[in-house]
Amino acid sequence: MEPDLAAAYERCRALHRRHGRTYYLATRLLPAWKRPHVHALYGFTRHADEIVDRTDALPPADRARALRDWSDRFVAGLHGAPVDDPLLPAVLHTIRAFDLDPADFAAFLHSMAMDLEIAEYDDYADLLEYMEGSAAVIGTMMLPILDPADPVLAREPARQLGLAFQLTNFIRDIGEDLDRGRVYLPQRDLRAFGLTTADLRLAAQRGTASTAIRELVRFEIARAREHYAAAAPGVTMLAPTSQACIRAAYHLYGGILDEVERADHDVFARRATVPNRRRLLVAARCLLTPAGRPVAAPSAPPVPQAAG
C-alpha cells in the first residue's frame, strides 16, 4: 500500500477508535483485511459530521462552505482528480475496491447539509427523510464489504439497522443535540405527550426528566425497536465471517436502549452507556455464536397511534 494511502487508512482508524467505541469494538470481529475499509467509511462520515458539529464557533454559512468545499474535493476524487486530504484517499480507495454506490455518499452529505439549515422535524416521516441520508445509506454502503449472499434481499435489513442505530443515538443524545440547537425527536411526538422544546431544555438544565418526557422516551424506544426487529433477519444473510461484527453491533447499540430503560427513561440524569464488562462479554458471545443462528430481535410493541 502506498505511504499516503496507508496514512489515510490509519487516520480513519484513529478517528473510529476515538469516537466510535461501540462500532469500533464490533469491527474488531471482522477479518483483518475488511477492517480498514469499515474504518474508511466511518472516517468519511465522522469528518463530515465534525465539519458540521465541531466548528460551532463558525457561523452556519462558513460551516456550509467548509462542507461544500470538502464535498467538492471528494467528488473530484471520484472522477480521478488528485486529492489533497488526510483521509479521502482511503475513502476513495474503498469505494473503488468494492464498487460502492456514489449516490449513497451524496445522500449522506445532503443530510449533513440539512443539519446546518433544519433544527427540528414536525413528524416521523420528515425525520425519516433526513435519516435516509444520515443513517440508512450507511447500512447500504457497508453491504458490499459484508458480502451478503443476496445483496438485493439484504438491502432493506441493512437500511433498517442504520435507522435503528441512528434513532438510538437520538434518544440517548437529546441533551447534547439541544446544546447544538437541534431536536431530532419529532415535534408531533412531543405534542402528543404535552411537551415542547422548552420543556426539554428545562429538563436538561435541571438534569432530570419529567414524567411526560420519560413517557416520550419510552415511546421512541418502542419505535427504535421496530427498526431493530426489521433489521434482525439481515444478520444471517451476510457472509459467515461478517456476522459476528454486525451481531455485536446490533446487541451493543440495542444495549444503549436497555441502559436508558434501567435509568427509568431519564436521559438527562446521565449519558446511557453499556458498561465495558458487558461490552466485552457481548463481543465474545457474538464471536462464538455459530454463523447462521438467527438474531433474537427485541420486543417491539406497536407504536401508539396517538403520537402519529
Whether residues 79 and 180 fall in one domain: no
Report residue 264: phi and psi, to 5°: 60, 40
Rounded Cα distance, 239 and 237, in Å: 7
Residues 153 and 297 in one domain: yes
Q: Are 187 and 84 part of one and the same domain?
A: no
Please indicate, yes or no, whether residues 84 and 170 belong to a single structural domain of this protein: no
Q: Are residue 184 and residue 291 in the same domain, yes or no?
A: yes
Give the model's pLDDT for residue 3. Answer: 60
Determine the pLDDT at residue 56.
65
Distance between alpha carbon 63 and the CA centroid of its chain, in Å?
21
Query: What is the model's pLDDT at position 2?
Result: 64
pLDDT at 55: 59
pLDDT value at residue 58: 81
Same domain, 68 and 168: no
Query: CB-hemisphere CA count at 13 Å for 62?
Result: 7
Give the pLDDT confidence score for residue 308 in this predicted structure: 43
How far, in Å, CA of 300 to CA of 224, rounded?
8
Domain count, the chain: 2
CA angle 295, 148, 89 (to 5 degrees): 115
Between vectors from CA 216 to CA 210 and to CA 222, what angle results, nearest 5°?
A: 140
In-domain check, residue 136 = no
pLDDT of residue 133: 96
SS3 178: helix
The list of the chain residues with pLDDT below 50 reads 300, 305-308
Show the domain range for 15.
1-117
DSSP 204: H
| Exposed e or buried b per residue across 163-190, where buried means at least 16 C-beta atoms within 10 angstroms of its C-beta | bbbbbbbbbbbbbebbeeebbbbbbbbb
Which H or E element spans position 85?
none
* CATH at 162: 1.10.600.10
